[in-house]
Chain A
Amino acid sequence: MLDFTPKEIKKLTGGVINPAKTCQPIGAMYAALGIHRCLPHSHGSQGCCSYHRMHLTRHFRDPIMASTSSFTEGACVFGGGANLKTSIKNVFAIYDPDIMAVHTTCLTETIGDDIPSILSSAEVPAGKVVIHANTPSYVGSHITGFSNMTKGIVTYLAESAKEAKKEQVNIIPGFVNPGDMREIKRLVKTMGIKSIMFPDTSGVVDSPMTGKFEMYPKGGARVEDIRDSGNSKLTIALGSFASTDAAIQLERKCKVPAKTLKAPIGIKATDELLMALRNSFVREIPSDLEEERGQLVDIMTDTHYHFHGKKVAVFGDPDIVIGLTEFLLSLGMIPIHVLTGTPGNAFEKEVKAMLLQAGLKANVKAAGDLFEFHQWIKNEPVDLLMGNTYGKYIAKAEDIPFVRIGFPILDRSVHSYMPVVGYKGAMRLIEMISNALLDRQDRDAREEDFELVM
């Protein structure tokens, strides 16, 4: 396969080769896992549910629980209402979640199942909740699905009392690892500000080993906290693709002001998050965080000559790639190929603006695939490749150092526990990038050039 990508670029109009995205429902499933005691439910054929659970299981190496409407031919002809109602009955009888989060699939969207009207006539046990999001697989990507389910969470759950807003902030973290969510919560807590994060998959898909299988591990955003998010005085959406829609919905529904920031990858975006919190909540940046930032700047100065002028190709989910591109630029690196599989003009606009500011030009594309990305690299080689596991084919074919970041990572472990966000995450990224570059230098060095101190 490695030889199958020709250098000559021809436009494809009949589909994609080696996708850089997947479909909406898996993003919805992941978002729903970020609610405490929630069972995601896939309304469609059972293969969808099985594939999503498999993919998430491989990335997180933790059990991923979700139920399915198990569509048959009959359900397709007569509509899936009966299947969904039976599912609701069975899910609460068997698995006893507090909340069930239904997402649709391409099949149920196409046959036109009207989920709200099915839900309105379904029997839901007292004290239990069923929410839903429409996630047609033929629109957007898994990031769109994450965004839609997060918006659905707000639509169904957020409430505002009449009195004044509370001194608390809502954080919508985007499609990131639980390690990132923990780090963002730590930053906000260190600022001395109460936060409500949703979705919050920490403690759900990175749960500790106890010798017992917990269908619903301890983590996840509590339903009562999500309800209370309508009373917060600010919502910060981290990443415009995965988080903004839910924040705007919360603004519309509960009059909570919404602010969209970049995913806090790197020093600048982390600064922006902390400054936004400082300004809204009138806090000083605590010395602990100032110290961390100082350490990061120290590390960047100590190592900047390893990075300066190195050409990088980056691909992955839009919010992550935007944040990462900014960080790479701050290290003096040159992103020359930047791609996401998720459609959206905002991606190209934002990345191009950053590059322009740095005086650079690059290949930038949304809704792209890895075949084209590989062709770019063949035509204009790079010193480093960054992206999810699927980048390994390109890295091997072109013999490029490769740093894994994003979703999915199927061939390495521990990544989901460790942050790439915040100052600590930036330190980790620097370690990963410099290890990859210097390991390569050592590997390729002639004996006389092989150095002890680097």
Chain B
Amino acid sequence: MAAVKITDLPVIERENSISIKGKQKKQLKCDTDSVAGCVSQRACVYCGARVVLNPITDAVHLVHGPIGCASYTWDIRGSLSSGSELYRNSFSTDLKENDVIFGGEKKLARAIDELVAKYRPKLVFVYSTCIVGVIGDDLQAVCRAAAQRHGIEVIPVESSGFIGNKAAGYRAACDALLSLIKPADSLIGQIPKSINYLGDFNLAGEAWIIKKYLNRIGVTVNVVFTGDSNYESLKNTARASLNIIQCAGSMIYLAQKMKELYDIPFINVSFLGLQDTADSLRKIAAFFNDQEIMRRAEELIKNEEAEVKPVIADYSDKFVGKKAAVYVGGGFKAVSLIKQFAEIGIEVVMIGTQTGRKEEYKSINDLVNDGTVILDDANPSELEKFMLEKGAHLLVGGVKERPLAYKLGMAFIDHNHDRKHPLSGFVGAVNFAREVYSTLCSPIWTLVNRG
């Protein structure tokens, strides 16, 4: 195979956002704005905020802006609820030309009033979109007044699309959450051996799997951020004794703030893959320094592994010599996927993220083999170039990457909103192997002449 050269890139500005392990020592450029005129796979601030908050099931998620932003985010996340389904509706102020000229505050106030009358929610999130940031509606004031009028919480989310990238939206969501969870002093840290689980959105019911594991080892899950959470459960946030963070990209800021404000310590975990799941359970047990929890954790790991390892091994036999490319939203998921692929005998030859952070790129670089291409905020032509040059058989990505992989005659797994099976925990590791098998070893690829 021809050696991969970054210098072939059509956009010189992109050179610092791509590195090849073992080739150079430079720090990968990340967390920057996309180049104007690029076919970026990235989204905006509003998108980041919405995906984090949307799984809060009993809230009215009201989008203040023209219709599009609400239309494109109507029930797209696949996060499951055990209670209210209110969050699966699409609410928009549907701003028109007149509102843009004369301001949208009155219409927003009316929308809140009508929705509150209709659904009696305890919590309303009002998302700011690009245009609101420009026409200067005072979201704070409208929300404050509505909250007083109705005696509920109406929280503005400062998510105008242009004020940064998706990561800025995570932060806007965390700020909204911080204002929501602000506790009375008596409510801080009172439930022993209880945790908040940050950064799981309960896609395909993943948070439920982890909750069960933790219950089995004697740890109580206080609230999940934000999968299957609701107003009441979030109000109890500060009572937990530990925060564990899965999706660090979206939640590390919230964890740091909770440490600062309520003195709740946090640790990073990952429940993707056998090794990470086991390590994370041990880490949690070790934190509580409780013999019984540790014993039960070991027992759970032993039992679960005994059950799933032979199944996974059967699949791995079929993957010999296969190579994977990964392009996902956050860095935490990328790191876990490298390990998870290693567990099923697949080498990751290209890996990138939309919003990975410096530390995460360092972990990625430490984990991958020499020659692996690492890239931040990639565009489709870069993905194509490196996947082909590195001989990848499989791509892990989101909605927009799927048809790209298929057109190249390449297998694909959705590790994003469109995932249909839980990929977390021990059972998730089996699902993952099965999904890899069903796409990688499908007979359809024999019909494709790879050019």
Chain A contacts to B: CB under 8 angstroms: 1-4, 6, 10, 12-19, 21-23, 25-26, 39, 41, 44-55, 57-58, 61-73, 75-76, 83-84, 86-91, 93-95, 105-107, 110-111, 136-139, 141, 207, 209-215, 341, 371, 390
> Contact between A94 and B41 (Cβ–Cβ < 8 Å)?
no
Docked-complex contact B402 and A17, CB < 8 angstroms: no
Q: What residues on A are CB-neighbors of B380 within 8 Å? A: 63, 65, 213, 215
A19 adjacent to B94 (CB under 8 Å):
yes
Residues in chain A near residue B110, CB distance under 8 A: 13-15
Do A45 and B161 touch (CB < 8 A)? yes
CB-CB under 8 A for A64 and B92, given A18-B74, A87-B37? no
Q: Residues of B with Cβ closer than 8 Å to A?
A: 10-11, 33-47, 62, 65-75, 85-86, 88-97, 99-100, 107-115, 118-119, 129-131, 133-135, 161-165, 380-381, 384, 399-400, 402-404, 406-409, 448-451
Tell me the bound Cα distance from A191 to B68 in angstroms.
40
Q: A1-B75, A16-B70, A16-B91 are in contact. List 19 more A-B contacts (CB 8 A).
A: A6-B118, A13-B114, A17-B115, A18-B90, A23-B68, A39-B39, A46-B40, A47-B69, A48-B68, A54-B399, A62-B403, A64-B400, A70-B33, A87-B37, A136-B66, A209-B448, A210-B451, A211-B409, A213-B380
Q: Which residues of A contact B74 (CB under 8 A)?
A: 18-19, 390
* A14-B113 CB under 8 A given contacts A1-B85, A19-B90, A106-B66: yes
Inter-chain contact B92/A19, CB cutoff 8 Å: yes
CB atoms of A50 and B43 under 8 A apart: yes
By a CB distance below 8 angstroms, the chain A residues around B94 are 15-16, 19
Shortest Cβ distance from residue A410 to the other chain B in the assembled complex, whole angstroms: 9
Which residues of the other chain, B, contact A73 by a CB distance below 8 angstroms? 162-164
Q: Do B111 and A15 touch (CB < 8 A)?
A: yes
| A398–chain B nearest beta-carbon distance, Å | 16
Contacts of B381 in A (CB 8 A): 94-95, 215
28 contacts between A and B (CB under 8 A): A6-B118, A13-B110, A14-B107, A14-B111, A15-B62, A16-B67, A25-B68, A44-B162, A45-B161, A47-B161, A50-B400, A54-B400, A70-B40, A72-B162, A72-B164, A73-B163, A75-B162, A83-B36, A89-B37, A91-B37, A93-B10, A106-B95, A107-B130, A137-B65, A138-B66, A209-B407, A209-B409, A211-B448
Contact B36 A22 (CB under 8 A): no
Query: Is the beta-carbon distance between A46 and B107 smaller than 8 angstroms?
Result: no
Min CB distance B1 to A, Å, is: 18
In the complex the two chains form, is B90's CB within 8 Å of A94's CB? no
| A90 and B38 contacting across the interface, CB-CB below 8 Å | yes
In the complex, which of the residues A49, A105, A107, A136 contacts B97, with contact meaning CB atoms closer than 8 Å?
Answer: A136
| A210 to B131 alpha-carbon distance, docked (Å) | 42
- Does the CB pair B93–A15 fall under 8 Å? yes
Asked whether A90 and B72 contact (CB < 8 A) given A16-B92, A63-B380, the answer is no
Most buried by A among B10, B66, B91, B165: B66
* B33 and A72 contacting across the interface, CB-CB below 8 Å: yes
How far, in angstroms, from A137 to B96 measured CA to CA in the complex? 8
* Given A91-B37, A210-B451, A61:B403 Cβ within 8 A: yes
CB distance from A363 to the nearest CB of B (A): 20
- CA A39 – CA B37 in complex, angstroms? 10
Residue of B at shortest CB range from A3?
B85
Residues of A within 8 A of B406 (CB): 209
Assuming the contacts A14-B109, A211-B409, asked whether A22 and B11 have C-beta atoms less than 8 A apart, the reply is no
The distance in angstroms between the C-alpha atoms of A61 and B403, with both chains bound, is: 6
User: For A49, A62, A89, A139, which residue has the most chain B Cβ atoms within 10 angstroms?
Assistant: A49
Q: A15-B91, A94-B381, A211-B451 are in contact. Are A22 and B67 (CB under 8 A)?
A: yes
A17-B91, A48-B68 known; A212 vs B451 contact (CB < 8 Å): yes
Judge whether B68 and A22 touch: CB under 8 Å. yes
Chain A residue nearest to B91 (CB atoms) is A17
A52-B42 Cα distance, complex, nearest whole Å: 12
Q: Which 5 pairs, one residue from A and one from B, show the smallest C-beta to C-beta distance?
A: A47-B44, A14-B111, A23-B68, A90-B37, A87-B37
Residue from B42, B90, B129, B399 in contact with A46 in the complex, judged by beta carbons closer than 8 Å:
B42
The answer on a CB contact under 8 Å between A63 and B404 is yes
Please indicate the chain A residues that have their CB under 8 angstroms from the CB of B162 in the complex.
44-45, 71-73, 75-76, 107
Chain B residues within 8 Å of A106, by CB: 65-66, 68, 95, 100, 129-131
Chain B residues within 8 Å of A89, by CB = 37
Is A23 a contact partner of B131 (Cβ separation < 8 A)?
A: no
Within the complex, what minimum Cβ distance (angstroms) separates B58 from chain A?
11
Nearest residue (CB) in A for B12 is A93
Nearest Cβ on chain A to B164's Cβ, whole angstroms: 8
Contact (Cβ within 8 A) A90 B35? yes
Which residues on B sit within 8 Å (CB–CB) of A25? 68
Closest chain B CB from A42 CB (angstroms): 10
CB <8 Å contact, A70 and B66: no
How far apart sit A138 and B134, CA to CA, in the bound complex (Å)?
14
Residues of B within 8 A of A3 (CB): 85
Given A50-B43, A63-B404, A138-B96, answer yes or no on A68-B38 (Cβ-Cβ < 8 Å): yes
Q: Given contacts A1-B86, A19-B92, A22-B68, is CB(A47)–CB(B100) below 8 Å? A: no
B97 touches A139 (CB 8 A): yes
Contact partner of B39 (CB less than 8 A), chosen from A6, A67, A141, is A67
Closest to B68 in A: A23
B97: which A residues are within 8 A, CB to CB? 136, 138-139
Q: Are B100 and A110 in contact (CB under 8 A)?
A: yes
Determine if A51 and B112 form an interchain contact, defined as CB atoms under 8 angstroms apart.
no
CA–CA, A98 and B205, complex, Å: 46
| Cα(A156)–Cα(B89), bound, Å | 41
Q: Roughly how many angstroms separate A94 CA and B399 CA in the complex, as a whole number?
A: 23
| Bound complex: CA A371 to CA B70 (Å) | 14
Tell me whether A107 and B400 are in contact (CB under 8 A). no
Please state if B86 and A4 are interface contacts (CB–CB under 8 Å).
Answer: yes
State the Cβ distance, B405 to closest chain A Cβ, in Å: 9
- Nearest Cβ on chain B to A425's Cβ, whole angstroms: 25
Chain B residue contacts of A26, Cβ below 8 A: 68
Q: Whole-angstrom distance from the CB of B120 to the nearest CB of chain A?
A: 11
A15 adjacent to B72 (CB under 8 Å)? no
Give the contacting residue for A69; candidates B37, B109, B133, B404; CB below 8 A.
B37
Which of chain B's residues have a CB closer than 8 A to the CB of A45?
44-45, 130, 161-162
**C-alpha gap A215/B131 in the complex (Å):** 32
Please tell me if the beta carbons of A46 and B92 are within 8 angstroms of each other in the complex: no
* Complex alpha-carbon distance, A297 and B69, angstroms: 44
Q: Bound state CA distance, A44 and B162, in angstroms? A: 8
Q: Which of A55, A138, A209 contacts B72 (CB 8 A)?
A: A55
In the bound complex, what is the Cα–Cα distance between A315 and B130 (angstroms)?
29
Please name all residues of chain A whose beta carbon is closer than 8 Å to the beta carbon of B47 when the two chains form the complex: 47, 50-51
Residue of A nearest to B404 (CB): A63
Q: Which residues of A contact B67 (CB under 8 A)?
A: 16, 19, 21-23, 137, 141, 341
Q: A50 and B384: CB pair below 8 A?
A: no
Contacts of B118 in A (CB 8 A): 6, 10
A212 touches B37 (CB 8 A): no
Contact A48 B44 (CB under 8 A): yes
Bound-state Cα–Cα, A89 to B75, Å: 37
CB neighbours of B93 from chain A (8 A): 14-15
Across the interface, which residues of A come within 8 angstroms of B114, CB to CB? 10, 12-14
Q: Are B10 and A94 in contact (CB under 8 A)?
A: yes
Identify B11's interface contact among A66, A90, A213, CB under 8 A.
A90
A139 CB contacts on chain B under 8 angstroms:
96-97
Whether A50 contacts B46 by the Cβ 8 Å rule is: no
Who on chain B is nearest to A41 by CB? B37
User: How far, in Å, is B20 (CB) from chain A's closest CB?
Assistant: 20
Contacts of A6 in B (CB 8 A): 118
B38 cross-chain contacts in A, Cβ below 8 A: 67-68, 70, 90, 94
| Least CB separation from B63: chain A residue | A15
Which residues of chain A have C-beta atoms less than 8 A from B69's C-beta? 23, 47, 51
- Chain A nearest CB, measured from B46 CB (Å): 6
Q: Is the pair A49, B40 in contact by a Cβ cutoff of 8 Å? A: yes
Contacts of A87 in B (CB 8 A): 36-37
Alpha-carbon separation in the docked complex, A62 to B405 (Å) = 10
Establish whether residues A70 and B133, one from each chain, have CB atoms under 8 Å apart when the complex forms. Answer: no
